[in-house]
C-alpha cells in the first residue's frame, strides 16, 4: 500500500513539475479564452496567449486575466512547458508545422507537452512536434462553447475526450480533474465519428428548433413565448432520454401509428415549408427503425 501511494505521489509530482513552466495558449478564440481562464482559476499558470494578430491575443488575455499577449512568431512561446493549441480545426496542421519548423532542433521540444482541443482530428496531426521531441495529445470538451463566458459555465464538470502520448494524457487528465470534469478515452482513428456524434445533436438541434419557432409563429403563437415554450419541451425530452432511454422517450404520431396525422403534417409542410419535407421523412424513417416498425411507404 505504501509503495502504491509512493508511486501515485511520484506521478502527481511529475505532472506538477511540467506545470512549473506554465501554459502557452495558441489561439485566442472562445475555447482558448474560456479554458485559459478556468485553468488560471484552478492554479495552473498561463504564461501567454499567441495569435497571428496581436490585437486578438490582447483581447484574449484581457478576458483570461493573466498572461502575455504575443504573436505566433514570438520566441517566448517556447518558454512554456505545455503548449495548448485551441485554433480552428482547419488551421491546426499548418500551425503544428510552423511551430515544428522553428530553429532549435529536437532539444527545443524535448520534455514539452503539446495538446490540442480539436474534436475532429487526432493527436497525430501534431506529429511534426513529436518528431522534435514533444509529447502530443488531445483533449476535447463534449460541450458547446458559443462564447467565452458560456464556456466558463459549460466547461466546468463536463466530459472530455482524451488521447495521445502517455505523458500528454497525464497532463490532460490533471487539467480535467482540476475543472471537476470526467475524462474518457476515444479511439484516435475514430475521432471524426466521435465529432459527428456531437454535431448530430448540437448545431443540428439548434437548426431544428429555429425552424420549429418559425412554424409556431406561423400558427399564431406569440413571438415572446415561442422560444421559451419550445425550450421547455426540448429540455423535458432530454430529461426523458437520460432517464429511460431513446425508445421509451419517443412520443408523437409515429409511436401511436397515427398515419393520418403524419399525412396532414406532410401536406402542411409542403405548403408552408417545402424544404423541410425531406428532413421530416428522413427523421420519420429513423424513428420507425428505432421503434422496430415499418412505415407506409414514407
Domain regions of the chain by residue span:
2-189, 201-291
**pLDDT surpassing 70 at residue 228:** yes
Domain at 201-291, CATH from 1.10.1040.20, 1.10.645.10, 3.20.20.150, 1.20.1600.10: 1.10.1040.20
Q: What is the mean pLDDT of residues 179-199?
A: 96
- CATH T-level assignment (fold) for domain 2-189: Rossmann fold (3.40.50)
Q: Is 141 left (phi over 0), alpha (psi -120 to 50) or beta?
A: beta
In sequence order, the 6+-apart residues with CB closer than 8 A to the CB of 236 are: none
pLDDT band at 236 (very low <50, low <70, confident <90, very high): very high
pLDDT tens digits, residue range 10-34? 444 444 444 446 999 999 999 999 9
Give yes or no for a contact between 25 and 50, defined as CB atoms under 8 angstroms apart: yes
Give yes or no for a contact between 202 and 158, defined as CB atoms under 8 angstroms apart: no
**pLDDT at residue 296, rounded to an integer:** 61
Cell numbers for 111: 520534455
Cell numbers for 233: 419541451
Q: What is the mean pLDDT of residues 151-173?
A: 97
pLDDT tens digits, residue range 93-117? 999 999 999 876 556 899 999 999 9
Mean pLDDT of the chain: 91
Q: What is the mean pLDDT of residues 276-293?
A: 94
Edge-to-edge order in the sheet of strand 113-116: 68-71, 46-51, 23-26, 82-85, 113-116, 135-141, 159-164, 182-185
Amino acid at each position: 500500500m505504501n509503495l502504491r501511494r509512493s508511486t501515485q505521489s511520484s506521478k502527481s509530482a511529475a505532472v506538477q513539475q511540467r506545470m512549473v513552466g506554465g501554459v502557452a495558449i495558441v489561439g485566442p478564440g472562445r475555447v482558448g479564452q474560456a479554458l485559459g481562464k478556468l485553468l488560471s482559476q484552478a492554479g495552473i499558470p498561463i504564461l501567454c496567449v499567441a495569435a497571428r494578430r496581436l490585437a486578438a491575443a490582447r483581447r484574449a488575455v484581457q478576458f483570461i486575466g493573466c498572461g502575455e499577449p504575443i504573436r505566433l512568431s514570438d520566441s517566448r512561446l517556447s518558454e512554456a512547458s505545455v503548449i495548448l493549441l485551441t485554433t480552428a480545426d482547419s488551421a491546426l496542421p499548418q500551425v503544428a508545422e510552423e511551430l515544428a519548423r522553428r530553429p532549435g532542433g529536437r532539444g527545443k521540444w524535448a520534455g514539452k507537452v503539446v495538446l490540442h482541443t480539436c474534436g475532429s482530428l487526432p493527436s497525430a496531426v501534431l506529429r511534426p512536434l513529436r518528431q522534435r521531441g514533444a509529447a502530443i495529445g488531445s483533449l476535447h470538451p463534449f460541450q458547446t462553447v458559443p462564447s467565452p463566458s458560456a464556456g466558463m459555465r459549460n466547461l466546468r464538470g463536463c466530459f472530455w475526450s482524451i488521447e495521445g502520448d502517455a505523458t500528454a494524457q497525464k497532463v490532460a487528465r490533471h487539467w480535467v480533474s482540476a475543472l471537476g470534469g470526467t475524462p474518457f478515452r476515444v479511439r484516435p482513428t475514430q475521432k471524426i465519428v466521435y465529432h459527428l456524434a456531437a454535431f448530430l445533436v448540437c448545431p443540428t438541434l439548434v437548426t431544428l428548433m429555429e425552424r420549429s419557432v418559425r412554424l409556431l409563429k406561423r400558427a399564431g403563437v406569440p413571438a415572446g413565448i415561442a422560444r421559451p415554450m419550445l425550450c421547455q419541451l426540448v429540455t423535458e425530452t432530454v430529461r426523458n432520454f437520460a432517464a429511460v432511454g431513446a425508445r421509451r422517450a419517443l412520443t408523437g404520431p409515429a409511436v401511436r401509428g397515427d398515419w393520418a396525422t403524419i399525412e396532414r403534417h406532410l401536406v402542411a409542410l409542403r405548403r408552408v415549408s417545402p424544404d423541410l419535407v425531406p428532413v421530416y421523412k428522413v427523421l420519420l424513417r429513423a424513428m420507425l427503425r428505432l421503434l422496430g416498425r415499418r412505415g407506409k411507404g414514407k
